[in-house]
Amino acid sequence: MTGFMVPPKNPEALADAIVKLLKHEKLRKQMGENAYNKLNTDLSWDTIAEKTIEVYTKAINDFKKGR
């Protein structure tokens, strides 16, 4: 888990999530570590570039098939 989902326009839910993080140091640290790991894997520039190339390759192949 890298964060909490709270409903939009719900200040009570947001406050509850913030208080939970403030009260639980272990959870806070684990979420930070998980977010850092996600940043360096799923959201890395290498991963983004690979996914972009896949999308363009598929679009080109689909275009060629349609001709």
Q: pLDDT tens across 12-64, in order? A: 999 999 999 999 999 999 999 999 999 999 999 999 999 999 999 999 999 99
Range of the domain at 57: 11-66
Token pair for residue 37?
């790991």
Q: pTM of whole model > 0.85?
A: no
Task: Flag whether 46 is in a domain.
Answer: yes
Question: What pLDDT is attached to residue 66?
Answer: 86
Task: Flag whether 17 is in a domain.
Answer: yes
Task: Flag whether 54 is in a domain.
Answer: yes
Question: What average pLDDT does the chain have?
Answer: 96
Query: What domain count does the chain have?
Result: 1
Percent pLDDT > 90 in the chain is 97
Question: What pLDDT is attached to residue 42?
Answer: 95
**Rounded distance between C-alpha atoms, residue 56 and residue 10, angstroms:** 39
Task: Flag whether 16 is in a domain.
Answer: yes
Task: Flag whether 43 is in a domain.
Answer: yes
Cα 4 from chain centre: 12
Task: Flag whether 6 is in a domain.
Answer: no
